[in-house]
Amino acid sequence: MTAQGRGTAGLSRDRYQVVGNPIAQSKSPLIHRLFADQTHQQLDYGRACPAEGHFAEEARRFFAAGGLGMNVTAPFKLDAFKFAHALTPRAEFAGAVNTLKLSENGDILGDNTDGFGLVYDLSKRLGWRLAGARILVLGAGGAVRGVLQPLLAAQPAQLVVANRTLARAQALVPIFNPVGPLSVCEFSALSLQEFDIIINGTSAGLQGELPPLPRGQLGSNCLCYDMIYSAKPTAFQVWARAEGAAHAEDGLGMLVAQAAESFRWWRGVVPDIEPVLTHMREHLRTGA
């Protein structure tokens, strides 16, 4: 019987969880509870915080105890990639897994929904046209690798990855060129007026900092997006607005959309993202 069948029949409450370290700040339990309420799914969703190096132990325990699915956040996405018995193509491209699912034959399947969440938020919710756009992505870490395949699949006219260390960005080219042409450069070589959309995928904003970006180059029609989110505008949003960007958005919509894709993969039901996003924005604002 499928997970959805067990849940809707009310015979048991299917179990899911998010795993990370730290994990107390995770919004996933609230988001998935809202999805479950909206779609009338009966499930429990918890959280776990294993010590680094003990992810596999926690995952084995959870699935052996009847768990059906798991979201994975830092620093365990590479551990989840190695733990999975089989991977979706987008997880293979990402080189990391943020969602695990118990299959009907007992295998653990690994997926990465981050890129789906980003592209959904940009194109569906915000209405930004990706096809034919000149897109700049800042950073070359795991967060960026997780979104390049769906961005390239949207057929931009140009996709450039800029990073402080050029070699790290160059390592992405042979991985993603089969999907679409990818160019790379150092931050110091950037000319921002060449781009229609700029996506910040660096972790600098978590400390309230910015990557080293030039001033006075942003076109008035440029659209800026930060993959992180906070209750107040991020440092990248503040910079983009000061530089005259047409729009400057944070990554809360990406977070909710990638969670919705995990929920769909687990439950076979597509939740409505908009009311949950509205709730989460208010939750961030008020803490309630």
What CATH number is associated with residue 193? Answer: 3.40.50.720
pLDDT of residue 167 exceeding 50: yes
**pLDDT for res 207:** 83
Last residue of a domain, one of 111, 132, 156: 111
Mean pLDDT, residues 232-239:
95
Residue 107 sits in the same domain as residue 132? no
Same domain assignment for residues 95 and 156: no
Q: Is residue 263 part of a domain?
A: no
Phi, psi angle pair for 101, to nearest 5° = -140, 140
**8, part of any domain:** no
Cβ atoms of 109 and 91 closer than 8 Å: no
**Looking at the structure, do residues 90 and 131 belong to the same domain, yes or no?**
no
Say whether both 146 and 215 belong to one domain: yes
The 183-186 sheet, strands edge to edge:
183-186, 158-163, 134-138, 197-200, 223-226, 247-249
pLDDT digits (tens, 9 = 90+) for 182-222: 999 999 999 999 999 999 999 888 788 899 999 989 989 99
Q: What is the pLDDT of residues 41-85, one digit of tens each?
A: 999 999 999 999 999 999 999 999 999 999 999 999 999 999 999
Same domain? 105 vs 187:
no
Return the pLDDT at 204. Answer: 85
The per-residue pLDDT for range 116-160, each reduced to its tens digit, is 999 999 999 999 999 999 999 999 998 999 999 999 999 999 999
Note whether 53 and 151 are same-domain residues. Answer: no
Where residue 29 sits, what CATH number does that domain have? 3.40.50.10860
From 116, 140, 159, select the one nearest 259 (Cα to Cα): 116
In a domain, 25, yes or no: yes
Whether 2 shows a pLDDT value over 50: the answer reads no
For the chain, how far is it from start to end, CA to CA, in angstroms? 37
* 206 falls within a domain: yes
β-pairing, 69-72 vs 14-19, is parallel
Residues 136 and 246 in one domain: yes
Is the same domain home to 39 and 159? Answer: no
Query: Which pLDDT band holds residue 9 (cuts at 50, 70, 90)?
Result: very low
Please list the active-site residues.
Answer: 77
Binding residues for shikimate: 26-28, 73, 98, 114, 229, 258
Residue 185: Cβ within 10 Å count:
16
pLDDT band at residue 270, thresholds of 50, 70 and 90? Answer: very high
What pLDDT does 287 receive? Answer: 78
Q: What is the pTM of this model?
A: 0.92
What's the domain range around 27? 14-111
Does residue 188 belong to any structural domain of this protein?
A: yes
